[in-house]
A and B are shown apart, each in its own frame.
Chain A
Amino acid sequence: MAGLYASRTAKTAILTKLYPTRSHTGTAQGGIGAALGSQEEDHPEWHTYDTVKGSDYLGDQDAIEFMCNEAVPAVYELEHMGLPFDRTPDGKISQRPFGGHTNNVTGKPVRRACHAADRTGHMILQTLYQQCMKNNVTFYDEFQAVDLIMVNGITAGVVAIELATGEMHVFHAKAVIFATGGHGRIWEITSNAYAFTGDGPAILMRRGLPLEDMEFFQFHPTGIYKLGILITEGVRGEGGVLINGKGERFMEKYAPHVKDLASRDVVSRAIYMEIRDGNGANGQNYVYLDVRPESVNRYAAQDGRKNLDGSPYTVTGEEILAKLPDIVDFCRVYLGVDPVTQLMPIQPTAHYAMGGIPTNKFGEVLSDEKNTLVAGLYAAGECACVSIHGANRLGTNSLLDLVVFGKHAGLKAAEFVKGASFQPLPDDSTAFARTQFEKIRHADGTENAFDIGTTMKKIMFDDMGIFRSGKGMQNALNVVRELKQRYQHVTVADTGRIFNMEMMNAWELGNLLDLAELTTVSAIARTESRGGHSREDFPERDDKQWLKHTLAWVAENGRIDLKYKPVVITRFEPKVRTY
């Protein structure tokens, strides 16, 4: 989206480490949030409030309001680009309920997620790529960005490795937009792609820029047991319910009003508490998601859920299959389970980075707690922290975030380059990047990268997961720091240049380790529970002390420094958050 908009008026190149259609946006399933009101009353103001509340009041309200207002024209624009949204009987864009999205008057779930079956992200990615081709945008496929070039604090370009040749290239640019996605590969159970190694944030932190609110990482309640593959919240939107090992629908206890459609942080914690209380399925650390038509219909009747014409809400097996074809396919392939007739074993899965590169609502990167701009540098999508999602993101708001802020980052960057001149490149632009790779190439080779990665993922999932404590997090930090030492001696057998994926993966592991450390340091400092950061030793939200954003820098000596900046509050004073 950023590239599409930037290219309208500025000479633009898009670098991607994969092919453009392989990006992780394509795996988003359930929908993109916008208060179109296709089927029932809805307003951008309600969407704004729900997002503020969902963020546990850590989201910046001016930016959230901006996004929720922009959402409506943004979704229509996607439709104009040809995106095949599902339709209502009268031909409008169809919408489904999603966690945390409510009618602000009744408190009941509202249909706000605009969807194309359960492959909405796939259709967005395809549509945007198609529009880029239509507009002759230049792509550099399978070019891995490895460094940002800055001269006197002003952006001068990026360094990237062409995977097919191993050659290092310098892209001299007046402006650079990072849209590099998340870093869920830090955790053992994750819905995230192998490619999600936090390259953008890692590159910028090495260049002395801060990262914001990194302690907030979302664990999606419903990942396929052991594999972490995402089962969309849309399943619960269509009436699916969570069931513990005793066959009880437990979300009634934790969120009496919206039950299974509470915010993701709330539902993930509920699942863990059930497991901890011995209510996991078969005594294991998973529960069930039940979307069998007879269950959906029974619970819908209990809840008094109605269709829009007032008739009781019911579904058939065929409708489940038509609305959730990919989910049914995943379960059949990976579990040998048919969700139309059987229960799906699920556990929470590391899913989304609320934190990231600090930006304002135009995608401009900020370099400190005073919101100083970095000339020519932009970020959008999951790698950025605007902050829209605060301490917890609502479902459907990630696709919305990348469309709205991608567009504005693109526009802003294009506007910037009009009045800017190229910075002269430094004498040796690739020196810093080369040092990093030379170090890996010439390490003394006693350590196995795969082992280091596995150990990091496990400790981060155990001690930096859904529930945290000072002791556990300190343990995670110690282990990660030890792993960083071992990483200095990592062995790489492949000495070639062409598609040396082993080398690239080793470099990516370095990114993950650096981000894991910074995330843990940020988390230890925050002595409260808020959204996705839930501490057993500090179980309450503490607005007096902690209604503020964390900014974390890596100092010259490797130490991590923390500073804070206030949350922007416009209309909604923080209050107790219940669902």
Chain B
Amino acid sequence: MEVTLKIFRYNPETDKKPSYKTYKLDAIEMDRVLDLLEKVKGYQDGTLSFRRSCAHGICGSDAMRINGMNRLACKTLVRDVGSRITVEPILGLPVIKDLIVDMEPFFEHYRSVKPWFINNAPEPEKERFQSPEARLRFDDTTKCILCACCTTSCPSFWGSENYIGPAAIVAAHRFIFDDRDQAAGERLKILNEVNGVHRCHTVFNCTMACPREIQITKAIGEVKAAIATGNLE
């Protein structure tokens, strides 16, 4: 089948403003949008620039806006989006070139919740014990690949780049509800600040956008509840 790809293009070294370019190519239903971008780059226009690596939805490099939805190009098939496909950079982060955005503001928010394990008790010789139920409590949020699909689909983040964003809250959730970690209070305090969880207005865009199917809005709700009640059950 013939597919029409309309791609957002911007080269800061030559372009005054962004434009869209259209490419036509042969494809099959099972082709990934990433396969199409590779073909355009390989045969039609080598200057097209985008990030990619694992090509199967695990590394998180190729988050893009595909037909208006934030998705990973490697996890979106022609079958899912049809033969007229518009590809744009994710919103809310500065565009550097074509589909490549500056991820630094995103990672800054991520780092602000102290996304690392904190337990200052002396380490046992073997593992710290944890029940399967306690492990399951934060399982969903361990899946996050930091692709930024969620944060850059959130109207609150579009409204204010200072909002910490769903991905950072997911990262915090993974530690807050891990019963081996000792810094839940510290993280909840950070998330209780003006640019923390309270900017979430439960729009569910993040949950819809997550390529890992993490129940993000639910996780944010649990963090809000923990702040309100002090209860980490």
Contacts and interface: CB of A to CB of B under 8 A. Distances in A.
Contacts of A123: 142
A21 interface: yes
B124 to A, nearest CB: 8
B131 A87 contact: yes
B224 interface: no
B218 interface: no
Given A496-B14, A500-B49, 14 more contacts: A19-B103, A22-B53, A27-B54, A84-B135, A84-B178, A87-B129, A91-B129, A127-B117, A134-B117, A194-B54, A333-B57, A491-B46, A496-B47, A498-B13
B6 interface: no
Contacts of A133: 111, 115-116
Contacts of A336: 79
A323 to B, nearest CB: 12
Contacts of B75: 333
B41 interface: yes
Given A450-B43, A494-B46, A24 B127 contact: no
B85 interface: no
Contact of A194 (B13, B52, B178, B213): B52
22 contacts: A18-B51, A18-B53, A19-B146, A21-B60, A24-B53, A26-B54, A36-B126, A81-B117, A82-B181, A84-B178, A87-B132, A92-B126, A122-B58, A130-B115, A133-B116, A330-B57, A334-B56, A449-B42, A451-B42, A493-B46, A496-B13, A499-B97
B45 A493 contact: yes
Interface in A472-512: 491-494, 496-502
Main secondary structure of the interface of A (DSSP, over half): loop
Interface in A123-167: 123, 126-127, 130-131, 133-134, 164
Contacts of B43: 448, 450
Given A92-B129, A448-B43, A498 B96 contact: yes
Contacts of A329: 57, 213
A498 B111 contact: no
A195 B51 CA distance: 10
A123 B174 CA distance: 12
B80 to A, nearest CB: 9
Contact of B47 (A88, A493, A497): A493
A80 B128 contact: yes
Contacts of A76: 125-127
B226 interface: no
B106 to A, nearest CB: 10
Contacts of A2: none
B126 to A, nearest CB: 6
A23 to B, nearest CB: 8
B77 interface: yes
B79 to A, nearest CB: 8
Instruction: Say which size band chain B's interface belongs to.
Output: 35 or more
Which of the listed residues B107, B128, B142 has the most CB atoms from chain A within 10 Å of its own CB? B142
A195 B60 CA distance: 13
A134 B116 contact: yes
Interface in A72-124: 76, 79-82, 84-93, 116-117, 119, 122-123
B96 A164 contact: yes
A91 B130 contact: yes
Contacts of B30: 334
Contacts of B128: 79-80
Contact of B132 (A86, A193, A227): A86
B96 A84 contact: no
Contact of B54 (A36, A87, A193, A494): A193
A119 B60 CA distance: 14
Nearest to A23: B59
Contacts of A451: 42
A229 interface: yes
A498 B97 contact: yes
Contacts of B131: 87, 91
Contact of A496 (B11, B59, B117): B11
Contacts of B213: 329
Given A27-B54, A87-B130, A87-B132, A494 B47 contact: yes
Contacts of A501: 41, 49-50
A207 to B, nearest CB: 26
B56 A27 contact: yes
Contacts of A130: 115-117
A79 B116 contact: no
Contact of B60 (A22, A81, A326): A22
B190 interface: no
B19 to A, nearest CB: 16
A343 B135 CA distance: 31
B77 A333 contact: yes
Contact of B59 (A27, A493, A500): A27
Contacts of A80: 123, 127-128
A92 B127 CA distance: 7
A448 B43 CA distance: 8
Contacts of A229: 55-56
B112 to A, nearest CB: 11
A502 B135 contact: no
A329 B56 CA distance: 10
Nearest to A83: B117
Contacts of B142: 84, 116, 119, 123, 126
B135 A87 contact: yes
A84 B136 CA distance: 10
Nearest to B42: A450
Contacts of B77: 333-334
A18 B145 contact: no
Which of the listed residues A76, A82, A229, A330 has the most CB atoms from chain B within 10 Å of its own CB? A82
B5 interface: no
Nearest to A326: B58
B99 to A, nearest CB: 10
B152 interface: no
B146 A21 contact: yes
Contacts of B59: 18, 21-24, 26-27, 193
Which of the listed residues A21, A117, A229, A500 has the most CB atoms from chain B within 10 Å of its own CB? A21
A170 B5 CA distance: 40
A193 B127 contact: no
A346 to B, nearest CB: 14
A540 B48 CA distance: 49
Which of the listed residues B45, B61, B117, B132 has the most CB atoms from chain A within 10 Å of its own CB? B117
A72 B28 CA distance: 48
B138 interface: yes
A89 B52 CA distance: 39
A500 B117 CA distance: 37
Contacts of B38: 450
Nearest to B54: A193
B177 to A, nearest CB: 11
A85 B180 CA distance: 12
